[in-house]
Chain A
């Protein structure tokens, strides 16, 4: 149960960890948008190199970041196989054909690019959650969404729901572990039998987990009530977010990356060296 590497904060001191969460959120958004403009191997290479440099600065071990790919490994493999095997490409690029399976050279490149894009799409946000605590993250989201409060979107409530949910993930994991152990101590068997048997074997874990979640939610509601919690009105914060010089540097580099990729794709001024790269 503890192998959920995606999104687990990795506590080391680094310039990336110290960035304002809003900077990191914006950077990830820019990064994702940028990835959708890229459709050449050169472009993906540059984006990957950029990400690699950020990872090195963040001091999070490369293996830890790559581990988050595990969650989407099947998606990657399926995407690759389906877009490669079952879609027809240019007739002159045919390699081999059998029934509904077609192998085309150009499809190979399209599928490969799709997979690289997916891979890079996962790694960026993974690095965000590895270098930012859930609390910082929700503070950042709340702050970025604040303008929406003008059109009566309950930004604060959404943020507090998010932070409670994030806060309870490790607690529920721990609880699950405990209950699994308690049932294992009564010789419960979770690892054998077919899929239906296994699903049924999880019932002795799920029911106590639900019961305790409701109990916990009740307790939390009581605790908030008894501290006179009444939403956003007049609330001040303990940690005030503040942009620093490094935040502007980060955003500047993100802007450079986005612009560079746009040029690589559209080449507005018909620069020769870009044409060579592509």
Chain B
């Protein structure tokens, strides 16, 4: 399922002293099967942009087409759209409210009018998909779970609607490195059933490792859509936008600075290892040895 965004513009509090242009002439397309990353500084318009995708923020000017349906008109089928585009907000665990995990996860599913029996099935599937034991957690209160488990439950609540596109706003914010890795692996597993994923992130390592396309936002404008190798090869551009490169890329850059024959756009650890193996024994090795 693809999402096309054309000339999107959004202004907060227009015609007041608080007026602020949040999005300015943003145009790009998310294609079926993309793992689409969106990076940019705080306040660059990333969150405003993604909240347009399921019509939580309505289009002010421009046009958005989701799965061939124009969502610009005032009256659209919100339930159909929002079950198609599953949105997981930052710190989704703060949206939990029900007295048991099962009731919380089935909330969205019930809201779109799925029959009870099928809902139960979907809930079980969603809870297992996020790596929790259904029998063990279904009757527990979501408030007594650990932080990481809560986040999984919240994620399951969105997955139970069986979305075709998953939109994640900083899914790993506030987690420890192990929790981050677990959530990201989870997202990768989820892509088997929901292949198109959009992710906002501040973590360049994650974006580089998982995304196949990356949009760069700055001051409400889209800087461009790149592949990870293209983007992180442009260290200077990123620096001028106040963004960094992934750790792997910075190692590659340091080695290239030393004279090794290594591509500056390398983003994955295994590629880097291969590149180093190729380079060692070449001319660079002697240079850097001293």
A interface residues with partner B (beta carbon < 8 Å): 10-12, 178-179, 181-189, 203-205, 207-208, 211-212
Contacts and interface: CB of A to CB of B under 8 A. Distances in A.
Contacts of A178: 89, 94
A186 B92 CA distance: 12
A90 B95 CA distance: 61
A185 B86 CA distance: 7
Contacts of A184: 56, 82
Given A181-B56, A185-B158, A187-B79, A207 B107 contact: no
Nearest to B110: A187
A12 B16 CA distance: 11
Interface in B8-54: 17, 51, 54
A189 B111 contact: yes
Contacts of B143: 211
B54 A188 contact: no
Nearest to B83: A187
Contact of B89 (A182, A189, A205, A212): A182
B95 A179 contact: yes
A187 B97 contact: no
A73 B54 CA distance: 35
Interface residues of B, number: 26
A211 B92 CA distance: 14
A186 B51 contact: no
Interface string B157-195: 110010000000000000000000000000000000000
Interface in B43-74: 51, 54, 56
A183 B89 CA distance: 10
Given A187-B79, A188-B108, A208-B96, 4 more contacts: A185-B87, A186-B107, A205-B97, A208-B97
Contacts, number: 62
B78 interface: yes
Contacts of B51: 181
Contacts of A203: 97
Contacts of A205: 97
A186 B79 contact: no
A16 B53 CA distance: 44
A-B pairs with the 8 shortest C-beta distances? Answer: A186-B108, A187-B111, A182-B95, A185-B87, A207-B97, A204-B97, A182-B89, A181-B56
Interface of B: 17, 51, 54, 56, 78-79, 82-83, 86-89, 92, 94-98, 107-108, 111-112, 143, 157-158, 161
B96 A185 contact: no
B112 A187 contact: yes
A12 to B, nearest CB: 7
A204 B104 CA distance: 9
A185 B56 contact: yes
B89 A185 contact: yes
Given A204-B107, A208-B95, A211-B143, A185 B17 contact: no
Contacts of A187: 78-79, 82-83, 108, 111-112, 161
A8 to B, nearest CB: 9
A267 to B, nearest CB: 45
Contacts of A12: 17
Contact of A185 (B54, B94, B97, B98): B54
Contacts of A208: 94-97
Contacts of B158: 185-186
A114 to B, nearest CB: 33
Nearest to A185: B87
Contacts of B86: 185
25 contacts: A12-B17, A178-B89, A179-B94, A181-B56, A182-B92, A182-B95, A184-B56, A184-B82, A185-B108, A185-B158, A186-B82, A186-B107, A186-B161, A187-B78, A187-B82, A187-B83, A188-B107, A188-B108, A204-B95, A204-B98, A205-B97, A208-B94, A208-B97, A211-B94, A211-B143
Contacts of B107: 183, 186, 188, 204
A63 to B, nearest CB: 11
